[in-house]
Structure 1
Amino acid sequence: MSITVKDVAKKAGVATSTVSRVINDHPSISEETKKKVRKVMAELGYTPNLAARNLGKQISSAIGVVLPPLDSKERIGNPFHLETIETINDEARNYDMSVAIASARDFDTLLENVQRMHRQKQVDGFILTYSDKDDPVIRYLLEKEVPFTLIGQPYISEEKTIYVDNDNQLLGKQATEYLIAEGHEQILFASNITHENLYYERFFGYQKALMMANLPVYPAATFETPDDYVAFEETLLHTKATAIVVLDDLFAVRMMQLVNLYGYRVPEDISIISFNNSIFATLIHPYLTSIDIDVPSLGKIATQRLMDQLNNKQQRSVRVVVPHRLIKRESVMKRQ
């Protein structure tokens, strides 16, 4: 026989409406009464009917996680997305929330997915796992005043956006400074992403470190077409680069393969440093020197900040910076 609200109310000696208010954590109920009712619920093994509860409150008890357009195998296979989803899901369980994923190959389809999730009340709010200057999703969420948090630094409406991020400019600067400290002077920056704030901030940090050290600053080596990969051999020859700062671990693996193709050894001829400290950092040889960006904290805090908004506890604009640390491995060699 299933336990009902009436059963709980009878044993606790309160009205059924009181039990309902306890389930919804209503502020009109004293903490003493809440503890008593919750104790009875636990003793009887009563589980609230979330679907019925949410129907009355017009909520879904779900968080929408929005991934960037997965328009390439590298994007689809990037472990950052899976790690972030896993962390958000773990933290959401602490709030009795489930997680729904919005993904697509392009921004138009991604926007349609988010709009449908919002209109159909499939989720109560969103977590964006990227910051792209061409993103229509964040504009839609701002326009409709939909609760959301952003992992990354926003391009627009920074004063209205709650976001959690690493100091990516500092990451780029410190990665470059580490190479400089190891004796490298001709250092390149390589990226297969050119629209996300992540790219700009880390590249700015790279530039800053080199300018402060009075070393040459080169244009970013960006890889968006097959021709870019072919042209990179000439870039290596022209710059006589001995080290490369690469946007993330997954693309760093591709860069290691590319420089090997052109006859360079890592790290004997070219040192490589990257970011994220993902599983790819130790799946290849030499192991990648990488900066750990603490993905678990990014996902956890983003979820907490969204829940604060949903519970009307959050300020209009907040920035949270998650610390990072350098993991030294084998892909960087000291220059003699």
Structure 2
Amino acid sequence: MTITVKDVAKRAGVATSTVSRVINDHSSISEATKKKVRKVMDELGYVPNIAARNLGKRTSSAIGVILPPLDSKERIGNPFYLEIIEAINDEAQKHEMTTAIATAKSFPRLLENVKRMHRQKQVDGFILVYSDRDDLVIDYLYENAIPFTLVGQPYKNEEEIVFVDNDNQLLGKHATDFLIKNHHENILFITNTTHESVYFERYFGYQKAMMLAGLPALASVPLEKPEDFVGFEQLLKETKATAAVVIDDIFALRIIQLAEMYGYKVPENFSVISFNNSIFSTLMHPYLTSIDVDVSELGTMAMRKLMDQIHEVLSTGVRLVVPHKLVKRETVVPLTQE
């Protein structure tokens, strides 16, 4: 038999509204009454309904995880998002919180979803698992003083926004340094996004490594639309590139296939290094050399920092940097010196 609030109220000799106030620890109820009602709840084995309790508290005991617009198969299939959602959810459970996902195919639609979740009090705060120059969502959250944590580096208000990130500029430099140490000099930086902060930071790191080594830093190679791929073969020939830093693992696999279609062989005469160390890095040969960004730690810390804000522990912006490590596999080999 299910024990209800009415059952508790009847046994305790109080109104059902009093039981509700005791559940929500309302200050209008005396400690003696709270003690009596709680004793009856224990005796009957009554477990408060979380949804009902939250209505009284005007909280949801849930957080929203905001994904970027999933406007391509590569984004939809990117394991980064699934891994970070899993880490956020695991940490949320430790705080007795649940997670809700906000996603759409465009920023305007995504913003409407987030607004609805906020206005209907479905969540107590948000975690954005991306940082995009064209984002409308972060402005809405910031301007309305809604608790949120950003995974990535914000484009503005860095001193006030709480964000968790890797040092992506250092990641870009380390990836490029590794190729340089393997005697590569004509190195490309290839990306499928040019408006996310992760692109800017990693490309800056590439440029820094090249300049410090006295090598020419080439313009980044954006392959965002089908027509962008048309000139890729000619670009490889003109630059005489022997290696590439690619924005992430899933896109790196596509670049390997593309290079091999044009007669290059990875890693024999074209080395590739990427980022995230996802499941894709070991799904097919050659296994990808990749930089592990510790996705699990990014998600865990983002959730902890959001809880700090919800409980008003933090009053100013904080940047938390998660360490990374390079995982050597099969797609980078020393360039044969002629």
Q: Same fold (TM over 0.5)?
A: yes
- Matches for 1:215-230 after TM superposition, within 5 Å: 215-230=215-230
Q: How far 1:17 sits from its partner (Å)?
A: 11
The question of whether the paired residues in 1 share the 8 Å contact of 2:161 and 2:316 is answered with: yes
Aligned partner of residue 159 in structure 1, secondary structure: coil
Q: How far 1:80 sits from its partner (Å)?
A: 0.5
2 CA distance for matches of 1:209 and 1:335?
Answer: 18
- Matches for 1:9-48 after TM superposition, within 5 Å: 46-48=46-48
User: Does 1:144 find its partner at 2:138?
Assistant: no
Matched with 1:77 is 77
**Deviation string, structure 1 residues 85-107 (Cα, Å, up to 9, x no partner):** 11111111111111111101111
1 CA distance for matches of 2:208 and 2:23?
Answer: 54
Aligned partner of residue 231 in structure 2, secondary structure: helix
1 CA distance for matches of 2:246 and 2:39?
Answer: 54
- Matches for 1:48-63 after TM superposition, within 5 Å: 48-63=48-63
Matched with 1:65 is 65
User: Does 1:171 find its partner at 2:171?
Assistant: yes
Letter of the structure 2 residue corresponding to residue 232 of structure 1: F
TM-score normalised per structure 2 = 0.89
1 CA distance for matches of 2:25 and 2:241?
Answer: 61
2 CA distance for matches of 1:50 and 1:267?
Answer: 55
Aligned pair in 2 of structure 1 residues 38, 309: CA closer, same or farther (>3 Å)? farther
2 CA distance for matches of 1:146 and 1:331?
Answer: 44
The question of whether the paired residues in 1 share the 8 Å contact of 2:80 and 2:295 is answered with: yes
Aligned pair in 2 of structure 1 residues 118, 198: CA closer, same or farther (>3 Å)? same
2 CA distance for matches of 1:24 and 1:85?
Answer: 30
Q: How far 1:270 sits from its partner (Å)?
A: 0.4
**Deviation string, structure 1 residues 263-314 (Cα, Å, up to 9, x no partner):** 0000001000000000000011100000000000000110111111111112
2 CA distance for matches of 1:311 and 1:241?
Answer: 52
Aligned partner of residue 63 in structure 1, secondary structure: strand
Matched with 1:237 is 237
Matched with 1:108 is 108
Aligned pair in 2 of structure 1 residues 69, 39: CA closer, same or farther (>3 Å)? farther
Matched with 2:208 is 208
- In the alignment of these two chains, the number of paired residues is 330
1 CA distance for matches of 2:230 and 2:24?
Answer: 61
- Structure 1 residues without counterparts, runs of 5 or longer: 28-33
Matched with 1:31 is none
Aligned pair in 2 of structure 1 residues 81, 22: CA closer, same or farther (>3 Å)? farther
User: Does 1:125 find its partner at 2:125?
Assistant: yes
Aligned pair in 2 of structure 1 residues 234, 94: CA closer, same or farther (>3 Å)? same
1 CA distance for matches of 2:162 and 2:326?
Answer: 27
1 CA distance for matches of 2:162 and 2:203?
Answer: 24
Letter of the structure 2 residue corresponding to residue 324 of structure 1: H
Runs of 4 or more off by more than 4 Å in structure 1? 3-9, 16-27, 37-46
Q: How far 1:47 sits from its partner (Å)?
A: 2.8
Aligned pair in 2 of structure 1 residues 220, 5: CA closer, same or farther (>3 Å)? same
% of aligned pairs identical?
Answer: 66
Matched with 2:329 is 329
2 CA distance for matches of 1:167 and 1:40?
Answer: 54
1 CA distance for matches of 2:140 and 2:212?
Answer: 40
Aligned pair in 2 of structure 1 residues 39, 83: CA closer, same or farther (>3 Å)? farther
The question of whether the paired residues in 1 share the 8 Å contact of 2:61 and 2:97 is answered with: yes
Letter of the structure 2 residue corresponding to residue 322 of structure 1: V
- Structure 2 residues without counterparts, runs of 5 or longer: 28-33
1 CA distance for matches of 2:39 and 2:322?
Answer: 38
Aligned pair in 2 of structure 1 residues 43, 309: CA closer, same or farther (>3 Å)? farther
2 CA distance for matches of 1:289 and 1:22?
Answer: 57
2 CA distance for matches of 1:203 and 1:73?
Answer: 24
The question of whether the paired residues in 1 share the 8 Å contact of 2:269 and 2:335 is answered with: no
Aligned partner of residue 329 in structure 2, secondary structure: coil
Letter of the structure 2 residue corresponding to residue 262 of structure 1: Y
Letter of the structure 1 residue corresponding to residue 234 of structure 2: E
2 CA distance for matches of 1:207 and 1:21?
Answer: 61
